[in-house]
Amino acid sequence: MSINPEVTPYNLWKGFQPFNPPIIICQTCEIKNKGYEARCAGRTMGEMHMSRVSASAPGKCILFGEHAVVYGQPAVAVALEQRISVSVETLVSDSGSWKIDGMHFQAKKHPHVQALKNRMWPSSLGAPALSIRIEGNIPAASGLGSSAALSVAASAALRTARGRWFVSINDIQNPETWAEGFSSTFETSPLYSNVSGEIDSRRKMVSDPQYLANESVISVDECALLAHSVEAIAQGGRASPMDSSTSAHGGIVMLSDEVEQEVEYLYTRRLKIAEQERVWHLHSIELPVNARDVYLVIGNTGVYAPTSQQVAKVAELLESEPSRMKEIETIGLISRRGIKSLMEGDFEAVGRAMSENQIMLQSLGVSCPELETLIRAASPSSLGAKLTGAGGGGCMVALTRHPKQTSEAIELAGGRTLISRLGNNGLSIDNYENLPMWKPEL
Ligand code: PMV
């Protein structure tokens, strides 16, 4: 368990999501998550390495609105207790080749890390080779946002390790005074371009730049943006910012095609997909005080179903039967009602909305027998249950006041479970020493 109790200057930055309060990593609720999901490899450190940074970020689960969000309806995701931690270390003998989990780094196997390397750690600027260790308890390829969590944590670790140049250190909260880096407020950025070459983030050549390295230079917005861009590149241009923003900011994140009233607006993301510009407005939803009384139990069917196939299936259905857009609109209405209930702390109503959302998803054809078996098993002990993510396999989620009972019922029906409370922290810098690892010159 590692605790980061520090309050850092950027907590005070205006216009930024405040960085997380003290955080406990590897937190457990009363009921421990299953050991088989954990992959806590031991550290292989010692005299060989000179400096290091560890950052972590949570996975996510969609509470409302999957598939309908593709057609502009709102969707809501929550950060999970389950996290990915990325530790970055310098190697004493810099042979120029990176290591990942002790193995030779292969760009094809780790496209997110490769894309981040291109953006944040370019060897053309003299960046040294690194050793990266990835640990965590978010099952991969199951719709729980493990790749976004990896990308958020890795971008934060690299930024902490690298530091940042400022035009004015008195005004570091304002991205306009960054002499290098990325921000949603910069209009022109090569961030999303799918080039294999390195990207130089230096913005201004200034006569008297000032430099800072450590967690003070982290902007949650920058890490969410970087993570979204590398997700988009790794997924051939198709990635909504839901996973990256939920992982970076934590808590509850709502995504919509319009700027919503009554919830906190974060920022807008734009991405060109197949020559069409997609626009998402992201918001943060405040957690009600009674949220600690309820749990999410996630049941993994173990059935692999790629998101792209499920999205294509819905697209085909809507093309052949345009009247089915009614289901998409109904999901939008259910999401809005669910969000309102969530904000009011009426979890009985939240659960009902989840179950209604599931009926619509079934009707769209994205559920499957394995998901329905787990949902049926969870229902007697929960407030509501539905598939989460793209469906066709993957995971379901139940909202419950009896997590042990719900988890056991799902396991008996053949699912693997994870238990999480709501309201989990987003990105966290967990520890660091001997920084910067490398100081690029302006
Ligand atoms: O399975 P996930 O977590 O990637 O979620 C997919 C959500 C969809 O709405 C089905 C697709 C999307 O791009 O929003």
Each domain of the chain, given as residue ranges in start order, spans: 20-38+48-163+217-285, 290-421
Beta pairing class for 130-136 and 99-100: parallel
Cα of 83 from ligand 1 centre, angstroms:
19
- Name the residue of 71, 238, 242 whose CB sits within 8 Å of the most ligand 1 atoms, as the mutation to test its pocket: 242
Asked if 121 and 94 count as a contact pair (C-beta separation under 8 A), the reply is no
The number of beta carbons lying within 10 Å of the beta carbon of residue 275 is: 5
Let me know if the fold of 20-38+48-163+217-285 is the same as that of 290-421. Answer: no
Supply φ then ψ for residue 173, to 5 degrees. Answer: -75, -15
Q: Whole-angstrom Cα distance, residue 330 to residue 337?
A: 11
Cα of 179 from ligand 1 centre, angstroms:
35
Residue of 218, 232, 202, 214 lying closest to 124 (CA atoms): 202
Task: For the chain, 442 residues long, give each residue's pLDDT as a single digit of tens.
Answer: 333 333 233 222 222 333 333 333 333 333 344 333 333 333 444 445 579 999 999 999 999 999 999 898 999 999 999 999 999 998 877 677 899 999 999 999 999 999 999 999 998 888 999 999 999 999 988 899 999 999 999 999 999 999 999 998 888 888 989 999 999 988 766 788 766 688 888 887 778 889 999 999 999 999 999 999 999 888 877 788 999 999 999 999 999 999 999 999 999 999 887 778 889 999 999 999 999 999 999 999 999 998 889 999 999 999 999 999 999 999 999 999 999 999 999 999 999 999 999 999 999 999 999 999 999 999 999 999 999 999 999 999 999 999 999 999 999 999 999 999 999 999 999 999 999 999 988 8
- Name the residue of 73, 78, 311 whose CB sits within 8 Å of the most ligand 1 atoms, as the mutation to test its pocket: 311
The number of beta carbons lying within 10 Å of the beta carbon of residue 88 is: 25
Q: What is the pLDDT of residue 82?
A: 98
Q: What is the pLDDT of residue 187?
A: 76
Chain length of the chain: 442
Task: Tell me, using a 6 A CB cutoff, whether residue 257 lines ligand 1.
Answer: no
Asked if 370 and 393 count as a contact pair (C-beta separation under 8 A), the reply is yes
Burial 384-416 (b: 16+ CB within 10 A, else e): bbbbbbbbbbbbbbbbbebbeebbbbbbebebb
pTM attached to this predicted model: 0.88
Q: What is the pLDDT of residue 33?
A: 41
Q: Whole-angstrom Cα distance, residue 311 to residue 263?
A: 28
Q: Assign domain 20-38+48-163+217-285 to its CATH architecture.
A: 2-Layer Sandwich (3.30)
Residue 49, beta-bridge partner list: 91
Cα of 146 from ligand 1 centre, angstroms:
13
Q: What is the pLDDT of residue 94?
A: 61
Q: Which atom of ligand 1 is nearest to the CA of 145?
A: 3
Q: What is the pLDDT of residues 161-214, one digit of tens each?
A: 999 999 988 888 889 899 999 999 887 667 887 666 888 888 877 788 899 999
Q: What is the pLDDT of residue 195?
A: 67
Q: Whole-angstrom Cα distance, residue 390 to residue 243?
A: 13
Cα of 400 from ligand 1 centre, angstroms:
23
211 alpha-carbon distance from chain centroid: 29
Task: Tell me, using a 6 A CB cutoff, whether residue 307 lines ligand 1.
Answer: yes
Asked if 243 and 237 count as a contact pair (C-beta separation under 8 A), the reply is no
Helix runs in 216-297, H state only: 220-234, 242-249
Q: What is the pLDDT of residue 120?
A: 94
Q: What is the pLDDT of residues 11-45, one digit of tens each?
A: 222 223 333 333 333 333 333 443 333 333 334 44
Cα of 38 from ligand 1 centre, angstroms:
24
406 alpha-carbon distance from chain centroid: 26
Domain 290-421 superfamily per CATH? GHMP kinase, C-terminal domain (3.30.70.890)
